[in-house]
Amino acid sequence: MRKVFLITLLVLFFSANSYTRELNLSFFQDNLTYTWQERFNYKKAFNQKTSLEIKSRGNSVMIKSSGKDTSKRWQESGDVDLKLTYNANEKLSWGGFLLYDVSSLEGRDVHTQNLGVFADYKIFSQVKLFQSLGFKGFQRKFGGERKPDEGYDHLF
């Protein structure tokens, strides 16, 4: 599934008429870890007032064994953000968003979903007032047991 998602992102990345595209792949290591990172940003304007923004980030870390411990541990995290924005004027914009986040360490997974609406008002060029309201859900998996949780989310 991850390969299908990455191929879809690459198709969007190379499509015409988008005004912001970024793809970043990196690898580095130190004495204890190997780290792979990927980041993808895409923003498309449908007209002067409406735009779609997609962001994806992924991080995989292999923690090397040390001393008598010969096991290697994996830690992975990633998220996808979709945001549709309507700019009413130069100071006021609003829209909807969908966020999905996954975090994993040795089979202990946490999935987070957030769906909501937002309003953004520029008071001055460097000062913004941002407010969002949405639904948030969590699914935690430890061993074979799943622990779901959900609720409403408000940010001001």
Q: In whole numbers, what is the pLDDT of the chain averaged over residues?
A: 84
* 36/74 Cα distance (integer angstroms): 11
Q: Do residues 78 and 57 lie in contact, with contact meaning Cβ atoms separated by under 8 Å?
A: yes
Q: Is 141 exposed, middle or buried (0-12, 13-18, 19+ CB in 10 A)?
A: middle
What pLDDT does 86 receive? Answer: 97
What pLDDT does 98 receive? Answer: 95
pLDDT tens-digit map of 42-72? 898 888 899 999 999 999 998 887 666 667 7
Q: What is the largest CA-CA distance in the chain?
A: 63
Q: How many helices (H) and strands (E) does the chain have?
A: 1, 8
3 versus 81: which is more confidently predicted?
Answer: 81
pLDDT at 92 over 90: yes
Residues 6+ apart with CB under 8 A from 137: 112, 113, 114, 148, 149, 150
Identify the H or E element spanning 7.
helix 2-13
pLDDT tens-digit map of 111-139? 999 999 999 999 988 898 999 999 999 89
What pLDDT does 68 receive? Answer: 67
DSSP 88: S
